[in-house]
Structure 1
């Protein structure tokens, strides 16, 4: 008999820890969600605040690790047998799908933090059975522990797979540090179902360039394109257009795109010899007894030649565990026609092929037709891709070299500059996509140079705005941008609307002349100048501060600046300078959170910086929105004092514009934007604003601003911490 009384006294609220948010956002879905600035809470990290991965890497026996991984690749396990006795194809797919989520628009995604272990990535349809690859690697991770991160191990396993199968790889760098929870700041699309029709993220699916920014995949749950065709309908030319757009959004040109497609399909195979309905749910939806694994077949055999993954069934080459030119040989040696896999997926198979040219199934029992996906057929149907494919077909060594570099770029793009690379396998060649910056002069009299800046005739506002504009391009997502290199003086940044080119060119002329006279980089001068101006502003507010300055920044050259890849870094909004390039459907305060997240700022740091930048008078175009002070240029807490003053009332005054009106006199005292008022309207941000508005927080505000300012100025100084 059921004990109703006992069931009714369960000590927890049913579903409270397993259902949706169950929080404020469900009640007020339009409320501002600050989670994007609080996602990397150190309390989630089991390794502790003192853990230093770069120090642990010094203890790593790289040769032993490489040997162990290569042995694992050819040691088949009964619970998940290796295709043809080699796990290379599976490990390459895991590494590809880890790194391949990178997108240039916001620098998010990629394999740099090991987040393929968590939802939603661990349960994407495109990542089916990659949970098995990670579980196969567990003995290696267990053995080497904290000396190797999951992020590094996953990419290393894919790279060593190529080497194990005969490819000469370009190199590998350690240094990717694991996160310990899903990345909340990465927007994967608004669709509520896997593989929802592509139309949902395009203005027109026939025009791939209309794909919603910052997305770089055609459908929810895919890494880049649907291998069976746009919306699952085969059409190689249409697919080619989507491949070109998605790979461009991954920072790849046409040659790199063909090389990666061909190189990824030179080894391994796809699996579609089963029924999708026989599979258990994906890892996040699986039963507790599955212990984190998903897509398991408890109905039929479901492993080896009977594995079900993508639904497409077959290998691309005759020798799928050997690096060779077999992909192009197969592609160009046959006519191809559409057929169906055993699972019912459309795939291309040769019209006629000799029996000896067919690959064996993964258990070596019988030969079967090779296959091509719609994306593969795009490599010979699209005129540009075909020309490149023919070049690779006729010059296998060139193909191998291009692929090696493209694979390295794919797997390292989100790591940032080369001085963040760790380990003996890392190449030393500078590559343009690494945004190289030469070392700058560091042994100079900083105080003397500071005096030269102060006597240059530049205003304090000029100094602050130029330093901010130079540093604000930094993206912690892929470690690009920032003040080092002073690319603000080069194309395309020098002409960005947000940088106010007329004013910027006037300031740069002074800095460039001073650089020529002193030998100090413009990058150092810009940051030092900003620091001097902030110190002066603090002094005017009655607080003496000394901002730490680390010389040694270099000046990048135009030759080593990839103009096209820097274009996505252009600020089209910057709440810190109250700037919007145009009217957007996304509210200004949400844009502010996204930029603060990319700059790796906390909500408190963002609040402090906004309040300080306002009273310093650094608004774009010199507008007075949010400048709630009568002493512009002094680093006071006036922004917060005025914002929390009950003697005023706010009223709309046009799009993204508001008036502050004195309750008693009715006079308009100040104007503001949504990026100002949100610090009074949002309960969390208001709690921070109230702290800074307190009479006993005037000095605290200055010191907090200086700390946040210094963090922004030094965000890209990896040389200060690199081992």
Structure 2
């Protein structure tokens, strides 16, 4: 691990400080410590919700109007913070707030993305390069509602949402692999349950389960979702099922189910692209951070 300035020196760096690699690695390590020390949350980690924060901050980008995206951290403000797709994410923002207070020089925009990268890596996903340079914006820059995927919709909706950001079918399926992590909550999305049996470890199980398990509609009072027939403990959203109903999507599901390394590499590239959409970077260099478990 690279060791930069001591924590005490970092603590007094003001908002005009230009972060070094060592500074960002220090913040990465502090976020990883938060994940490790709060093992009583959900399935044992805040990792999935930190990834969801970074994803939802980035996934509002519109390639035509050049609006939305991770640059700005506008989810700090209403109306974006109140969008239905962002329900429950105050938990993730609040978790990172003490890190921001300790390191006032880092933008919320960069911090949220660094949190998402840390979450992926600490949950045994691929190493995701990080490039700093996002700046925070005010409420006037809030992204409009309905730019994020609606889980109740079909393949056409998925393509409309992701093509708007500049992704293709392969990248849509790769990014959907994030559903290997975490679970749905009735008080956030209305849906309930995890997609996989190991929701705090990134694997290709999401794709394998989609193809191999027998799924049925869940009988309950909530929104339409699937459950596995065998254990009735896993769930899939209507949009998840579109990935095996649509022949173009399905061929990528099959590729990822067959070879986890192919999934990890293509997931890494798609996430890197997602996290950098629309950001006016001033530096070319990207940093890669060591996992705290390495």
Q: 1:333 to 1:113 in 2, by over 3 A?
A: same
- Partner in structure 1 of residue 81 of structure 2: 122
- Partner in structure 1 of residue 92 of structure 2: 133
Conserved? CA contact 1:112–1:176, under 8 Å: yes
- Partner in structure 2 of residue 168 of structure 1: 126
SS of corresponding position for 2:159: helix
Q: Deviations over 1:292-342 (max 9, x none)?
A: xxxxxxxxxxxxxxxx1111000001100011111012111112121245x
CA RMSD of aligned residues (A): 2.1
- Partner in structure 2 of residue 271 of structure 1: 185
* Larger relative contact order (CA 8 Å, sep ≥ 6): 2
Q: 1:116 to 1:89 in 2, by over 3 A?
A: same
CA distance in 2, matches of 1:84, 1:56: 36
- Partner in structure 2 of residue 320 of structure 1: 199
- Partner in structure 2 of residue 348 of structure 1: 226
Conserved? CA contact 1:97–1:223, under 8 Å: no
Q: Quote how far apart the aligned CAs of 1:422 are.
A: 5.8
251, 258, 261: which is aligned to 1:397?
Answer: 261
201, 206, 214: which is aligned to 1:335?
Answer: 214
Q: 1:387 to 1:416 in 2, by over 3 A?
A: same
- Partner in structure 2 of residue 90 of structure 1: 49
Report the number of matched residues. 276
Whichever of the two has the greater Rg, that structure is 1
Conserved? CA contact 1:224–1:243, under 8 Å: no
176, 180, 185: which is aligned to 1:261?
Answer: 176
CA distance in 1, matches of 2:183, 2:55: 14
Provide structure 2 residue ranges, at least 5 long, that are not aligned to the other structure: 1-13, 290-294
CA distance in 1, matches of 2:30, 2:81: 25
2:287 pairs with 1:424: yes
CA distance in 1, matches of 2:21, 2:246: 49
CA distance in 1, matches of 2:284, 2:89: 26
Q: Quote how far apart the aligned CAs of 1:421 are.
A: 4.5
SS of corresponding position for 2:139: coil
Pairs within 5 Å for 1:16-415: 55-58=17-20, 61-76=23-38, 82-146=41-105, 148-183=106-141, 188=144, 221-229=145-153, 239-262=154-177, 264-272=178-186, 308-341=187-220, 344-353=222-231, 369-415=233-279
SS of corresponding position for 2:141: coil
SS of corresponding position for 2:171: helix
Q: Quote how far apart the aligned CAs of 1:416 are.
A: 4.0
Q: 1:123 to 1:339 in 2, by over 3 A?
A: same
CA distance in 1, matches of 2:270, 2:175: 7
CA distance in 1, matches of 2:201, 2:86: 23
Conserved? CA contact 2:159–2:169, under 8 Å: yes
CA distance in 2, matches of 1:139, 1:406: 29
Q: Quote how far apart the aligned CAs of 1:56 are.
A: 2.6
CA distance in 1, matches of 2:284, 2:55: 19
